[in-house]
Chain A
Amino acid sequence: MRRLLRDLRARIERRAHAWIRRRQGADTDPVELRRQRIYILPTRLGVAYGAMLCAMLLGGMNYNNNLGLGFTFLLVSLGLVTMHHTHGTLAGVQLRLLEAVPGFVGSDVRFRVLLEHSSNVARPALEIGFTREEPGSVTADLPPRGSSEATLVLAAQRRGRVALERFVVSTSHPFGLFRAWAVVHPAYSAIAWPRPAERALNPPLTATDTGGAQSGAIGAEDFAGLRPFQAGDSLRRVAWKAYARGQGLYTKQFAGTDVVSHVFDYESLAGLPAESRLEQLCRWVLDAQEHGEAFALRLPGTSIETNVGPAHRERCLNALALFEARETARA
């Protein structure tokens, strides 16, 4: 029985969403919540309130009691007034995307949304979520003529562009008896980067000062010194003799490793499935960035020249994310 009801609810919800989508069309940034697109229904508490008022009305009529009836009418009227206020709290709010924050698959992407309005009255307790049923993840209070920022978080499940198909701004201010909501179909999307691979393969090395293609093998020839072991270092390069002497774990450095640049090439990872290659490339990009090393990225059809810095890193990660990606949507 419960399941049946839940299914029915879900179906009604889907139909309603589809209807609203058809009615409103897609939104363009910034979005103003006009009166016509704000819907309102009693909350569960509101339904209970209504039931209470019905009981009071029946009792007042039965006992022919004018004061009981008068009190009931006052509460009915109060309910209707708060319904209007709930609706009014939402009408006229403007929404703007501040930033779509990318993230790795497995974590999440974020949309920083600015809520603003120009009226001289505060709008408290605005809530932002993906559906009307689960509104309360984020609340925002708008001061008079002010603005407030809210962040929507989406789990990044698949590499590529994650579109925010729909979100809901709602409020049940002031009494929690009604919930007014507006559905926004924004043109927002954020990029989900590939999940970085485990540190297993070493990146290909290239010494830029000598120019030309260099084999990674050269780096293994001339011993140059030791540096403390880091996670991901090849076990073959661990200074086992130093370890045996009780000096701790060290990795052998070779003259050839004095490189300042890598070329991360999709094609160099032949033998791996496509997604794994991208994940590996992602790991290399992250590590290189972390160590302050320059790198270039080669993907079939895309080539990003050697560079350093966060912008370069992001450009490369985006290229990895969008490489032959299907767009995924959520909400």
Chain B
Amino acid sequence: MREPNAPSRLRGLDWVLAALAAAVGPHVPDLPAWVTLLLLAVCAWRWTADLRSWALAPLTLRVIVVLVSTAGIFGTYRTLNGIEAGTAFLVLMAAAKLLETRTSRDLTVVVFIGWFLLYAALLREQSLSQLPWLLGSAFLTAVALMRVHAPSAQAPARHIARRTLQLLLQAVPLALLMFLLFPRLPGPFWGVDSRSEARTGLDDEMTPGDVSDLSASGEVAFRARFSGATPPPEQRYWRGPVLHEFDGRSWRRPSAQAFPQPQVTFRGPAIRYQVTLQPHARRWVLALDLPSAWPEREITQSFDLTLLSARPINNVAAFDLTSHTNFTAGASLAESMRRKDLALPRDGTNARSVALGRELAARHAGDPRAVVSEMLAMFRQQPFEYTMQPPRLADNAVDEFLFDTRKGFCEHYASAFTVVMRAAGVPARVVTGYQGGEFNPFGGYLIVRQSDAHAWSEVWIEGRGWMRVDPTAAVAPERIQGSLIDAVADDEPVPGRLRDASPIWMRIELGWDAVNDFWNQRVVRFDAQSQFQLLDRLGVDDPDWRALGLGLAGSLAAFFLVLSTYLAWRYRPPRGTGPAGCTTSSSRACASAD
């Protein structure tokens, strides 16, 4: 029987607070600090109030907290919509709810918010490595819920945890079936927020001379699985955004794009492969230079030959592509394009570089090939150094780099080269993307990391069209043949150096990457097509949506049947009920019965 005067302490409060903390954990790096601090303060206050039997917050205070925090969120994000602002809003709602938790129902609401926060974490980040934490938090949240609704305060936590685990494990089979069979409808039904959040990846702006943080990241940018042989390293140029506009310091993509599509002809063997991109929140699809075929429904090609997805890539996305490394692009150059790719700032910055370009043009009487060769020879012969830790550059960045510091990485070389080419009257542009990649023997695919990010130049030559020129290859051929580690000095901190020194560690990491790739391919990217393939393999002829629906209904029914049978068995009366059973069965069971 329930005590008439129940103790004033709210049952399960400590568990709910712990579960909430675990659910908020993954969001802390992205939350505004004041949100986290507010939640912490409220949790601490609520817990103390429970211990000391303090009075809870009056209505006016709660209303003020809700209003102020809503305004705060709006001020921070300029919206209440979207995952990020929504998450912060949820956290504040949990804090506001904690101010008035009096009953088990209030606590249950907090538990629900905890679950929603975990769900939001999954929407934002789908990596395998965060899964254990999230599942653990979900379990803790379920334990908290059972604690809140436990029959008596005396029930030991151990029992409750075990019971919750049982229930969760029983829920797994049906969850799996639903995951496999629930129809995946294509496309968003309402506007997906274009995420402003920073994701690691290429930018549509490049400023040589600023600190490069991309190369310091060992994160995977994408993986490529070739159906034939993997192309050799020097052909692994992955085309990303092309930058045309230069203001003396930074390169940018043109804002208004109305340029004619260049003609492209391909020669040689086709290379077929699948690219699986990690979400980077931008539209470009990295393709081996130069893509010749792509899924037309999802991808378009820009005037500067970069593949663009119809939507920002916010989830792991895979595309089947075909490329030819032997190609001619843009036999003729539109006048508007030529003007764009010859433009230099007219404010007199980088004067020495511009003078160098004019000098080269004069010397070779406008033969662009000779101009290119001489510029590359200059990089090769003069004491240029390839380093990931170049000195900072100021206003005349190209001049400083070419004539003073002479230390830099791909961005510096590509930028300087392109500026000199333009000054020499050769249409030129900067192409950013990735170069290289590491073959993973465990999965049979190429891993391209953020540290493989690269920038090179393209020059347009009459009769030849756009031609790739990689000035970095002239300075540090090891960068193109091998990887970043091979190209820079031994004491520079570059991701993966430790790993490369230890074969065992390397195998472990490649194995883990293969597991992640499997996760991406089979779980994160599981879609309607995978569902039909699955049904097909299970022997369903000509699988369609109806087959999925029937399968779902069937598995629900089967699950209910199995669970009911199990429960009937669980609560079964012992064999030989009544006193007769006592003489034969264990006396302990009889003694325990009243």
Contact = CB atoms under 8 A, between A and B. Distances in A.
A75 B115 CA distance: 9
A80 interface: yes
B148 A63 contact: no
Contacts of A44: 105
A127 to B, nearest CB: 9
B165 to A, nearest CB: 11
A118 B109 CA distance: 36
Interface stretch (B232-240, B403-411, B456-464, B567-575): B567-575
B74 interface: no
B172 A63 contact: no
Interface stretch (A153-161, A173-181, A265-273): A173-181
Given A116-B594, A146-B594, A175-B149, A121 B523 contact: no
B507 to A, nearest CB: 28
A288 interface: no
A121 B568 CA distance: 11
Contact of B592 (A88, A145, A150): A145
Contacts of B527: 64
A78 B168 CA distance: 6
B570 A88 contact: yes
A92 B573 CA distance: 9
Interface in B334-381: none
B164 to A, nearest CB: 8
A63 B567 contact: no
A118 B570 contact: no
A87 B570 CA distance: 13
Contacts of B168: 74, 78
Contacts of B573: 92, 117-119
Contacts of B167: 78, 81-82, 85, 174
Contacts of A12: none
Nearest to B188: A62
Contacts of B189: 58, 61-62
B353 to A, nearest CB: 47
Given A88-B570, A175-B145, A76 B175 contact: yes
A44 B564 CA distance: 24
A120 interface: yes
A88 B560 CA distance: 13
B146 to A, nearest CB: 5
Nearest to A74: B175
B190 interface: yes
Interface in A147-189: 147, 150, 172-176
Interface stretch (B58-66, B119-127, B216-224): B119-127
B504 interface: no
A77 B149 contact: no
Interface stretch (B45-53, B178-186, B428-436): B178-186
For chain B, the bracket of interface size reads: 35 or more
A84 B561 CA distance: 10
Nearest to A137: B2
Interface string B94-118: 0000000000110011001001101
Given A146-B593, A147-B594, A124 B174 contact: no
B314 interface: yes
Contact of B571 (A74, A92, A150): A92
Contacts of B190: 62
Given A73-B182, A77-B175, A176 B108 contact: yes
A71 B122 contact: yes
B594 A120 contact: no
Interface in B517-553: 523-527
Contacts of B138: 71, 74
A67 B126 contact: yes
Nearest to B186: A64
Given A66-B524, A175-B149, A88 B571 contact: yes
A45 interface: yes
B185 to A, nearest CB: 6
A62 B151 contact: no
B567 A59 contact: no
Q: Chain B binding site: helix, strand, loop or mixed by DSSP?
A: helix
B589 interface: yes
Contacts, number: 179
A72 interface: yes
A260 interface: no
A68 B123 contact: yes
A144 B592 contact: yes
Given A63-B192, A74-B138, A81-B171, A125 B564 contact: no
A145 B1 CA distance: 18
B170 interface: yes
Contacts of A62: 188-190, 192
Contact of B314 (A59, A63, A69, A91): A63
A111 B163 CA distance: 33
A251 interface: no
A173 B571 contact: no
B142 interface: yes
A121 B570 contact: yes
B525 A63 contact: no
Interface in B21-44: none
Nearest to A70: B179
A78 to B, nearest CB: 4
Given A67-B523, A74-B171, A76-B178, A145 B574 contact: yes
Contacts of B526: 66
A17 B556 CA distance: 30
A71 B171 CA distance: 11
B583 interface: no
B563 interface: yes
B148 to A, nearest CB: 7
B185 A176 contact: no
A299 B501 CA distance: 108
Which of A125, A145, A147 gathers the greatest number of chain B CB atoms within 10 Å?
A145
A60 B167 CA distance: 24
A70 B119 CA distance: 10
Interface stretch (A48-56, A195-203, A222-230, A308-316): A48-56
Contact of B151 (A52, A77, A139): A139
Interface in A122-142: 123-125, 136, 138-141
Contact of A67 (B122, B151, B568, B577): B122
B123 A174 contact: no
Nearest to A76: B178
A79 to B, nearest CB: 8
A64 B171 CA distance: 23
Nearest to A174: B146
Contacts of A56: 116, 119
B81 interface: no
B110 to A, nearest CB: 12
A176 B104 contact: yes
Interface string A20-52: 000000000000000000000000110011001
A35 to B, nearest CB: 8
A118 B574 contact: yes
Contact of B122 (A65, A91, A150, A172): A65
Contact of B179 (A69, A75, A123, A172): A69
30 contacts: A59-B123, A63-B192, A63-B315, A64-B527, A65-B122, A65-B126, A66-B126, A66-B525, A69-B179, A70-B175, A73-B175, A73-B179, A75-B115, A77-B171, A77-B173, A80-B559, A81-B170, A85-B167, A88-B571, A117-B573, A119-B570, A124-B155, A139-B2, A141-B152, A143-B592, A145-B574, A145-B593, A147-B594, A150-B1, A174-B146
Given A77-B174, A138-B1, A176-B145, 10 more contacts: A49-B112, A65-B122, A71-B138, A73-B175, A74-B175, A78-B171, A80-B174, A88-B570, A141-B152, A145-B589
Interface of B: 1-2, 104-105, 108-109, 112, 115-116, 118-119, 122-123, 126, 134, 138, 142, 145-146, 148-152, 155, 163-164, 167-168, 170-175, 178-179, 182, 184-190, 192, 314-315, 523-527, 559-560, 563-564, 567-568, 570-574, 577, 589, 592-594
5 smallest CB-CB distances across A and B, nearest first, come from: A125-B151, A88-B567, A77-B171, A176-B149, A124-B151
